[in-house]
C-alpha cells in the first residue's frame, strides 16, 4: 500500500510538537507547545518532560484535527528517538508507541538532526546541498556520500546555540536566546576584540563564551559584546563552511536548524556562497526551530523506504549521531 499520511512526534528538548504530512510533502498541520524556561536558567530536563506529558494529548489531537484526518487514516507514526534529553525523548516515544500499537500502524524511528535536514530540503527545493546544521544540539557541516550524511566539519566543544544560550543564562535572559541576542547586537556596530578559532573545517566556541563574559564583566556594554560575539561566531562558522565548500564544490548550501533564523548568519553565508558560484538555501522560517513537521516528513521518507521498527527496538537514543543513520531514500548526486 502506498503511504499517504504520516504523523510525526517531536520531544527532544524544550518543544513538544506533532504534525501530519502527506506523501507529496504538504504539511497539513504543525502544532507545538514549548516549555518556557525561567530567565537565567536553561532547560530543566525533568520539568520539560513534565510539560510534555501535560500537553502531549492536546498537541497530538490538535495536529490530527487541523489536518482533518483521523488516526485510522494514518499510514505511519514517526517519532524522534534522539539525539536529545532522555526524559523528554521518553515522553514522545511513549506516546508514539501507544498510538502505533493502538492504531496498528508502523512505527518509524527518526533521528532529529536528519529531520532538520529533510525539512530544509523540502522547503527550499535543495537537491544536493552542503548542509549547515545549527541548533542548540548541533553545529555541523555535512555532505551526502555513500548512503549517509558525512561530517566535514563541526564544533569541537559547544554548539552555536549553546554559545548564545549559555551567554544569555549568565545575563538572566530566558533561553532559547538567539533572537534576543540578535536584537541587542543590532544596537551596536562597535567591534570589541574576541577570540576567533577555526581549525581546518572545525570551529571552537568555548573560549569565545568565556571571553565574551569576561568583556562584559570588565565594563564593555552589553550591546557591544552581543554584536561582537555574534560577528565572531557567525564569521567563524562561515569560514569553516567556505573551506568545506571549496573542497566539495557543491552548488548549494542549505542552512537549517534553530539558529538558521539568525539574520547575521544568513547574510554572511549568502555573501560567502556568492564567491563560489553557489546558491544559499535557507529553511522556511516556521521550521527553523524544533517541530513535529521535521519528524513527520523525515518519517514519511523513511516509511516509504521501509525503515520501520518493532516497538521493542525503539528505545530512546539520547546520543544518536546522525552519521550513523542509513539514508536509503537519497541517491548520491541528486
Partner 1 sequence: MSQYLGEPTLPKLIYRGAEAEIYLQDWFGELAIRKNRVPKPYRVSELDSTIRRTRTLHETNLMHEARRAGIPVPVIQHLDVEESSFIMEYVKGPTLKEELYVVAPQMRRRRCRDLGKLIAKLHEGGLVHGDLTISNVLSDNGKLFLIDFGLGNFSEQLEDRGIDLLLLNRAMKSTHVKFHEEIFDAFLSGYSAIVGRKREVEILNKVHEIERRGRYSERT
321 contacts: CB under 8 Å, gap ≥ 6: 83
Residues 87-146 that bind partner 1 (CB under 8 A): 145
H or E element: which one contains 87? Answer: helix 86-103
Residues 52-91: x where in contact with partner 1 by CB under 8 A, - otherwise, as a string: ----------------------------------------
CB nearer to partner 1: give 75 or 231: 231
Pairing status of strand 27-34 against strand 76-82: unpaired
By CB under 8 A, name the one of 170, 191, 285, 326 that touches partner 1.
191
By CB under 8 A, name the one of 259, 261, 269, 302 that touches partner 1.
269
Residues 227-266 that bind partner 1 (CB under 8 A): 231-232, 234-235, 238-239, 242-243, 245-247
In angstroms, the CA 124 to CA 153 distance is 23
Our finding on whether 193 is near partner 1 (CB under 8 A) is yes
H or E element: which one contains 110? Answer: strand 107-111
In angstroms, the CA 301 to CA 329 distance is 6
* # of chain residues touching partner 1 (CB under 8 A): 27
Residues 196-225: x where in contact with partner 1 by CB under 8 A, - otherwise, as a string: x--xx-------------------------
In angstroms, the CA 81 to CA 110 distance is 6
Distances (CA, A) of 156 to 148, 197, 305: 21, 10, 33
Shortest Å, Cβ 148 to partner 1: 10
CB nearer to partner 1: give 73 or 186: 186
Distance of CA 74 to the CA centre of its chain: 25
Residue 148 — φ and ψ, nearest 5°? Answer: -140, 160
Is the Cα torsion angle 251, 143, 86, 94 positive or negative in sign? Answer: positive
Shortest Å, Cβ 274 to partner 1: 8
User: For the residues of 284-334, what is the DSSP string, one character each?
Assistant: -GGGSS--HHHHHHHHHHHHHTT--B-GGG----TT--GGGS--TT--S--
Residues 290-329: x where in contact with partner 1 by CB under 8 A, - otherwise, as a string: ---------------------------------x------
Our finding on whether 187 is near partner 1 (CB under 8 A) is no
By CB under 8 A, name the one of 28, 151, 173, 278 that touches partner 1.
151
By CB under 8 A, name the one of 68, 170, 271, 313 that touches partner 1.
271
Count of Cβ atoms closer than 10 Å to residue 223 Cβ: 16
Shortest Å, Cβ 246 to partner 1: 4
Which value, to the nearest 10 degrees, does the dihedral of the CA atoms of residues 241, 242, 243, 249 take? Answer: 100
Binding-site ranges for partner 1 (CB under 8 A): 145, 150-152, 191, 193, 196, 199-200, 231-232, 234-235, 238-239, 242-243, 245-247, 267-269, 271-272, 275, 323
Amino acid at each position: 500500500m502506498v503511504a499517504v499520511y504520516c504523523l510525526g512526534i517531536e520531544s527532544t528538548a524544550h518543544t513538544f510538537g506533532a504534525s501530519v504530512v502527506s506523501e507529496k510533502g504538504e504539511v497539513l498541520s504543525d502544532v507545538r507547545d514549548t516549555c518556557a524556561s525561567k530567565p537565567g536558567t536553561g532547560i530543566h530536563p525533568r520539568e520539560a518532560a513534565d510539560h510534555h506529558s501535560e500537553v502531549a494529548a492536546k498537541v497530538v489531537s490538535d495536529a490530527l484535527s487541523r489536518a482533518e484526518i483521523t488516526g485510522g487514516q494514518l499510514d505511519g507514526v514517526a517519532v524522534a528517538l534522539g539525539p536529545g534529553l532522555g526524559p523528554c525523548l521518553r515522553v514522545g516515544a511513549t506516546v508514539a508507541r501507544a498510538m502505533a500499537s493502538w492504531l496498528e500502524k508502523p512505527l518509524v524511528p527518526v533521528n532529529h538532526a536528519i529531520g532538520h535536514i529533510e525539512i530544509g530540503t523540502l522547503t527550499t527545493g535543495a537537491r544536493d546541498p552542503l548542509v549547515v546544521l545549527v541548533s542548540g544540539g548541533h553545529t555541523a557541516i555535512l555532505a551526502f556520500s555513500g548512503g549517509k550524511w558525512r561530517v566535514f566539519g563541526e564544533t569541537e566543544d559547544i554548539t552555536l546555540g549553546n554559545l548564545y544560550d549559555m551567554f544569555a543564562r549568565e545575563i538572566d535572559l530566558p533561553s532559547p536566546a538567539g533572537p534576543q541576542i540578535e536584537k541587542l547586537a543590532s544596537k551596536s556596530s562597535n567591534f570589541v576584540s574576541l577570540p576567533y578559532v577555526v581549525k581546518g573545517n572545525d570551529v571552537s566556541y568555548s573560549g569565545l563564551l568565556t571571553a565574551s563574559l569576561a568583556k562584559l564583566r570588565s565594563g564593555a556594554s552589553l550591546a557591544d559584546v552581543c554584536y561582537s560575539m555574534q560577528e565572531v561566531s557567525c564569521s567563524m562558522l562561515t569560514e569553516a563552511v567556505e573551506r568545506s565548500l571549496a573542497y566539495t564544490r557543491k552548488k548549494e548550501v542549505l542552512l537549517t536548524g534553530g539558529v538558521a533564523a539568525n539574520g547575521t548568519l544568513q547574510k554572511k553565508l549568502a555573501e560567502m556562497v556568492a564567491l563560489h558560484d553557489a546558491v544559499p538555501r535557507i529553511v522556511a522560517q516556521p521550521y527553523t526551530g524544533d517541530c513535529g513537521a521535521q519528524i513527520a516528513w523525515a518519517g514519511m521518507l523513511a516509511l516509504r523506504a521501509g525503515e520501520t521498527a518493532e516497538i521493542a527496538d525503539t528505545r530512546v537514543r539520547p546520543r544518536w549521531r546522525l552519521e550513523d543513520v542509513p539514508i536509503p531514500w537519497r541517491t548520491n548526486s541528486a
